[in-house]
Amino acid sequence: MGALIYSNSLKAQSWLKPRQHWHILVKKRNWRSICSSSSKNGADFGKLAKKHSICPSGKRGGDLGEFRQGQMVPAFDKVVFSCPELEPTGPLHTQFGYHIIKVLYRK
């Protein structure tokens, strides 16, 4: 396990509880239609990721696996550690592009 970093604004416990999520990373031109599709009832988020994501994780349905707070860019962390489970959230703009995020679970 890596170093444990504490922040005054977060409880130390939150660093110990990993989250697993999927995401779809897209360029600006098509994020609106993908975001709309991901929010529709019954949409298969994994299939959308495989079809549209420019991230290598797209091949795995957008699965980035488990990670702890502080392991991703700050804006991404903020959304992943505050959004509801199983609801597509986004778009979130980072230096990598536009992310549509779906948190699978929190331990």
C-alpha 94/C-alpha 97 separation (Å) is 5
The number of distinct structural domains making up the chain is 1
Pairing outcome for strands 89-94 and 63-67? unpaired
Specify the pLDDT at position 13.
43
Predicted model pTM:
0.73
52 occurs within a structural domain: yes
Cβ-based neighbours of 1, under 8 Å, separated by 6 or more? none
Span 12-24, average pLDDT: 64
Mean pLDDT of the chain, nearest integer: 78
17 occurs within a structural domain: no
Q: Which of 16-25, 29-38, 55-64, 94-103 has the lowest mean pLDDT?
A: 29-38
Span 60-77, average pLDDT: 90
Confidence tier at 9 by pLDDT (50, 70, 90): very low
Tokens of 35: 């975001």
89 occurs within a structural domain: yes
Domain that holds residue 66: 22-106
